[in-house]
Structure 1
Amino acid sequence: MDAFVYASALLGLIIAFLISGVWIFIALIAASVAMLYFALGMDPNRIGTIAYSIMYRAANSWELSAIPLFIWMGEIIFRSDISERIFRGLAPLVSRVPGRLLHSNVLGCTLFAAVSGSTAATTATVGKITTTKLREAGYNEALSLGSLAGAGSFGLLIPPSIVMIVYGIMAEVSISRLFAAGVIPGLMLSAIFSGFIIAYALLKPSVVPQGAPRLTWRDIVRGLKDLLPITTLMIVVLGSIYTGIATPSEAAAIGVLAALIIVGVTGQLSVKLLSDSLKGALTTSAMICSLLVAAAFLSTTMGYLHIPGDVARVIQGLELSPAMLILILTVFYIYLGLFLDGVSIIVTSLPIALPLAISAGFDPVWFGIFLILTVEMGQITPPVGFNLFVIQSLTGRSIGRVALYAAPFFLLMLVAIVLLTAFPEIALWLPGVLYD
């Protein structure tokens, strides 16, 4: 029972520090130091030595270099006119599909997520165009904003994903395999969302303005031309990883160079764009990397307290079926998503959750995709749903209303989790083909 007492005390300390207003990474470090000192009576000098050794080693991980580079690539694209080009490119392609321009949210987020890795950036970039265009065209607001909130979360699941890199570093899983594992589930979720929009539009035609626009081959060609920059960047980044030409970190550097070339060719490269994108990347990268370093110390502290092993043994003693364990973890992560962002959820819970999943027979790559899907759900649940905040800032609608609009897509994510659990090969097939 000591493990549960220690775990409760550690969690209580983290919550207390967070309530006091300190940064999350400081809360993780302070709680870890307090537990080592008060629970185990460890000498302060030894605590300092352990902290320095663990945190220095975590900070010098080569995989960490991919995080600021992928974030910078997304920041460059975010500050360009790529979002408008995506909308113009998709409009003629979806004009004859039931739901028409509503699909621009889903498909636009799918495309942008493949070069961003951030839900906030994906939602903001696509939403700054579609929220205005769809409202002016007379599309149903609930379906328009709800689909944007749900699809904006694709930034976590569709590679290159920052959260995938965080999980890969902490779980010591190949990031390339994780990227490959996220492709089919990401496309599946995109298809589920679009299928829902089609069904809704067929059952309730009033959600879409009446009278489909006339479409010519010239419109289609022009649309494909507008999609060329984003698809080129996708091919360059993901292609270099899956063909084995580059590691994820090297592909991130290639992606930054490609993004700079694209904005340069389109006449948007400027000192202001470079300065603003670097500032944005620096701020976000510092936050994520500091969390990872603090999480490494937290994981070590949990190890000294024997929390992961003892908790795993107790839960194994309950003889839960794998399906029941996944159900419990799903509810647990949905609850955490009410209060924490994706990176914080992973760094605080993974030392306990991953051993449980592995002992139940789940592949760590599959579990990473499952975990990211559940974290995605937290992006559209109040009170701390980051996609909801982004849409509120774009439209002025209340958090509660946007959350209500997003509720059907929350349920569709649950459907995706059921499918992923029932058919693990959805996530594991492509990594097996590429790397086995």
Structure 2
Amino acid sequence: MRCLAAELANRRVAGYLMLWAWRFPERVPAAEASTTLGEKFRRSRSLIPMLVLIVGVIGSIYAGLASPTEAAAVGVMLSLALARVQGQMPWATFVAATLGAVRTATMIAFILAGASFLTAAMGFTGLPGDLASWIAAQNLSPYMLLLALTLFFIVLGCFLDGISVVVLTTSILLPKVEAAGIELSWFGIYLVIVVEMSQITPPVGFNLFVLQGMTGKNILSIARAALPFFFLMALGVALITLFPAIVT
């Protein structure tokens, strides 16, 4: 389900980048000179390690040797091995990369800890469940119900991480969604997209804090940079609502 939602998001982003390149041609890197087919094959030899990495990660999943989470560890080990073979991983670089990964992971862990605390507080108050119950009790038409849920999830995502939003609300909303004639597989894709939208909304969008920790930039500048992608996801929600066959 997340894979399909990610594919839809990738297509929207690709379309946005095409329009951006057309609007600002002076900021697009110049195209390289044309090369012969033989030269392209010779240059492609440098891609062989990358192909080995991709085949190793995806192959371990399809061969049943690793779960998707474990395949990430397979990718790390293969990357280290390839870098070592190619002589591109001296000890100093390895130590710097390890410390950088630890800092990033620690930063994300602290954000998750804060989000978990806020989730526990919100769950204790019962506010998300009460709001979900109130929306479900309004007897809205399917389109109005989806509009209300979209606004609800976006606002809730300003303060909670995505998993918490889903866990605290879906058990209450699913019976109403099913009664409205909305297909549950479609609703699952819709939910993934809307929750991802909510993670880039200030003031407490989870992904905004992750980007701030990685870049050191002001949270407001990051939110402004993420705004076009928020609208792209909103457009995606509108499209799958008007044309549900995109999902089903």
Q: Structure 2 length normalisation: TM-score?
A: 0.66
Residue in 1 aligned with 2:17?
197
Q: Which amino acid aligns with 2:169?
A: A
Query: Of the candidates 32, 36, 44, which is equivalent to residue 213 of structure 1?
Result: 32
Q: Are residues 1:355 and 2:171 paired?
A: yes
d(CA) in 2 for partners of 1:247 and 1:264?
25
Residues 71-94 of structure 1: per-residue CA shift (max 9 Å, x gap): xxxxxxxxxxxxxxxxxxxxxxxx
Determine helix, strand or coil for the equivalent of 2:166: helix
Residue in 1 aligned with 2:82?
262
Q: How does 1:317-396 map to 2 (within 5 A)?
A: 317-337=137-157, 339-340=158-159, 344-359=160-175, 360-361=177-178, 367=187, 369-378=189-198, 380-384=200-204, 385-386=208-209, 389=212, 393=216
Determine helix, strand or coil for the equivalent of 2:11: helix
**Aligned in 2, Cα 1:281/1:364: closer, same or farther, shift over 3 Å?**
farther
* TM-aligned CA deviation for residue 292 of structure 1: 8.7
Query: Of the candidates 271, 283, 288, which is equivalent to residue 106 of structure 2?
Result: 283
**In 2, are the aligned partners of 1:377 and 1:413 still within 8 Å (CA)?**
yes
* TM-aligned CA deviation for residue 236 of structure 1: 3.1
Determine helix, strand or coil for the equivalent of 1:246: coil
Determine helix, strand or coil for the equivalent of 1:389: helix
Residues 226-264 of structure 1: per-residue CA shift (max 9 Å, x gap): 555555444433443355443334334433332332333
**Aligned in 2, Cα 1:299/1:306: closer, same or farther, shift over 3 Å?**
closer
**Aligned in 2, Cα 1:378/1:319: closer, same or farther, shift over 3 Å?**
closer
Same amino acid, percent of matched pairs: 32
**Aligned in 2, Cα 1:226/1:370: closer, same or farther, shift over 3 Å?**
farther
Q: Does 1 or 2 have the higher relative contact order (CA < 8 Å, sep 6+)? A: 1
d(CA) in 1 for partners of 2:169 and 2:76?
34
Unaligned runs of 5+ in 2: none
**Aligned in 2, Cα 1:292/1:248: closer, same or farther, shift over 3 Å?**
farther
**Aligned in 2, Cα 1:248/1:207: closer, same or farther, shift over 3 Å?**
closer
Determine helix, strand or coil for the equivalent of 1:186: helix
d(CA) in 2 for partners of 1:381 and 1:299?
18
d(CA) in 2 for partners of 1:253 and 1:266?
20
**In 1, are the aligned partners of 2:240 and 2:246 still within 8 Å (CA)?**
yes
**In 1, are the aligned partners of 2:156 and 2:165 still within 8 Å (CA)?**
no
Q: How does 1:136-155 map to 2 (within 5 A)?
A: none
Residue in 2 aligned with 1:187?
7
Determine helix, strand or coil for the equivalent of 1:192: helix
**Aligned in 2, Cα 1:189/1:347: closer, same or farther, shift over 3 Å?**
closer
**Aligned in 2, Cα 1:296/1:203: closer, same or farther, shift over 3 Å?**
closer
* TM-aligned CA deviation for residue 354 of structure 1: 1.0
**In 2, are the aligned partners of 1:241 and 1:248 still within 8 Å (CA)?**
yes
Determine helix, strand or coil for the equivalent of 1:319: coil
**In 2, are the aligned partners of 1:379 and 1:388 still within 8 Å (CA)?**
no
Q: Which amino acid aligns with 1:214?
A: A
Residue in 2 aligned with 1:12?
none
**Aligned in 2, Cα 1:399/1:274: closer, same or farther, shift over 3 Å?**
closer
**In 2, are the aligned partners of 1:233 and 1:258 still within 8 Å (CA)?**
yes
Determine helix, strand or coil for the equivalent of 2:139: coil
**Aligned in 2, Cα 1:290/1:262: closer, same or farther, shift over 3 Å?**
farther
RMSD: 4.3
Residue in 1 aligned with 2:57?
237
**Aligned in 2, Cα 1:212/1:185: closer, same or farther, shift over 3 Å?**
same
**Aligned in 2, Cα 1:260/1:323: closer, same or farther, shift over 3 Å?**
farther
Q: Are residues 1:272 and 2:95 paired?
A: yes
Q: How does 1:29-178 map to 2 (within 5 A)?
A: none
